[in-house]
Amino acid sequence: MRRLLSVVLVISFSQAVYCGIQTVTVTGGTVQGTNADNIAIFKGIPFAAPPVGDLRWRPPAPVAAWEGVKQADAFGQACMQAEGSMGNTAPVSEDCLYLNVWTPASNANEKKPVIVWIHGGGFSGGSTSTPMYDGTGFAKKGTVFVSLAYRLGPYGFLAHPELSKETGRGSGSFGLEDMVVGLQWVEKNISQFGGDPANVTIFGHSAGCGAVSMLVASPVTQGLFHRAICMSGGSFAPLQQVGENSPGMSIPSLATAEATGEALLGILGVADIKAARALGADRIQAAVTGGEGAMRFRPTADGYVVSRDLYSLYEAGKFNDMPILIGHASDETAAFGGPQTVTPEEFRNQIQSQYGAVAVDLLAAYPHATNEAAAKAARGVRNMSSFDWNTWAWANQQSRHGHGKVYNYYFDYHAPTVTGAGHGSDVPFAFQTLAGRRSEPTIADHELAGMISSYFVNFATSGDPNGPGLPEWPAFTGDKPVVMLFDAEPAAEAVPDLDKLKIFDRYMESLRKR
């Protein structure tokens, strides 16, 4: 009897320990989550209809209602992509428009700040189920954390004249429209999870960061979020035109993207969009896998979500003015591989053929007298064109044309055996998901993760990352361009490589004047 009583008491105690949110009614029906360490977790909540069959290459449709209580205890399938793309191990499907919520709230009235995560992956891969993106760390620090999926590759970003005619407003940004509908879902439903729909921060890395920059500059997102955090991305280069090679992260013009879409239908051997919709997803994926260097699918200046290049939109005052927290790592493209050996002559030829009027200045700014120096210089130029300059341009444009403050960071925390911090190396520090990296995290690693995550949570709460026990992080201004340097001894410092950034300012200006 005593043993039975003990079991009953243990069960009763375990049920009483967690009294937070467990069942929630949202758009479409009721969902029941799980609990881990006093955080309620809801996985795989549908926020739009599956974009399959005739709904392929259309704006996201309303979610279908369901009967009874849906168990929200497993991630949805990842959106269609090549096997193992960006480390994704989840099953893939076109039926993938699901989101996940982590909440520390004990009831629906707490109005906690909300963070909405948009994963990276080059707009062609990745998923919300990646362990590095676990939202528990952010929830434990008092935020309601949401991660949402979006269509990838040709399923999310195919433009075609027929599709533009169907929509009446351009095509090629269905994946961005998924994000918009996900944010609308948050606005309507997040209060049921104890979140404050009037205090939402969007947060992305790499392609997710590029998407964040586009959503900040889009008229269709006005009022859906109030702050933005962007890690290693942004898209402020001039639009890519037909037949041009353009700097990394640039947005293709509608004509450029439509030409790519017509080329894909030619490869698929179909005459029109109706016939392409009848094809299996595997057939389409096979046609683009391995060939995305020549046929890239990414958000388009469709005239609806994005009208033109972001730099010009900021110049015209056509953006959603808000506080932003942005930054990048010190050696982003080291993670992408590339040529290990570059000769001085190869480097000179590359710069002279691509950078025209500023080639002389770039060659002077990047030492390249030896093969080793030339390889380092080539990587430095790739870093600058794809990541460094876009972060710099966004910070400048916001500080010049907006009222929301800018907080800029530079992540240079790395092992002494490498020359810098690679792409994505800062993400597990923000999420406090350091376990599973190549080496066991140290005390110093955990301390830096605690610092960075606290800065991010403070920013999501109030628009200012500063708080008790943290080194002072001053706002970036045009007169005082500073970054918070995250290395072994974090501190505010002047923006690195300012001379090189200003060379790229002149280069991008020359492209805008074409």
Residues marked active site are found at 206, 332, 423
**Amino acid type, 419:** T
CB 208 within 8 A of CB 201: no
Question: What's the token pair of residue 141?
Answer: 């620090």
SS3 content of the chain, % helix, strand, coil (to 5): 40, 15, 45
Contacts 24+ apart (CB under 8 A), 264-267: 264/154, 264/158, 264/288, 264/295, 265/160
C-alpha dihedral sign at 227, 193, 457, 435: negative
Residue 404 in tokens? 């929301």
Q: Taking the CA of residue 451 as centre, how many other CA atoms within 13 Å lie in the half-sphere pointing to its CB?
A: 22
Within 8 A by CB and 6+ apart from 458, the residues are 464, 465, 466, 467, 470
Chain center to CA of 117: 7
CA-nearest of 133, 98, 106 to 39 is 106
For the chain, the first-to-last Cα distance in angstroms comes to 86
Distance CA 210, CA 299 (A): 9
Q: Report the C-alpha gap between 464 and 482 in whole angstroms.
A: 15
Which residue in 477, 409, 399 sits closest to 209, CA to CA? 409
Torsion of CA 134, 137, 142, 143, to 10 degrees: -30
- Spatial CA neighbour of 404 closest among 413, 412, 395, 391: 395
**How is residue 386 written in tokens?**
């794809």
DSSP state of 335: G
Calpha distance 265→274 (Å, rounded): 11
- What are phi and psi for residue 164, nearest 5 degrees? -65, -35
Question: Do 474 and 416 contact (CB within 8 A), yes or no?
Answer: no
Q: Which amino acid is at 482?
A: V
d(CA 322, CA 305): 18
Q: Which amino acid is at 428?
A: P
Q: Provide the edge-to-edge strand list for the sheet that holds 98-103.
A: 34-36, 39-46, 98-103, 144-148, 112-118, 195-205, 227-231, 324-329, 406-411, 482-486, 491-494
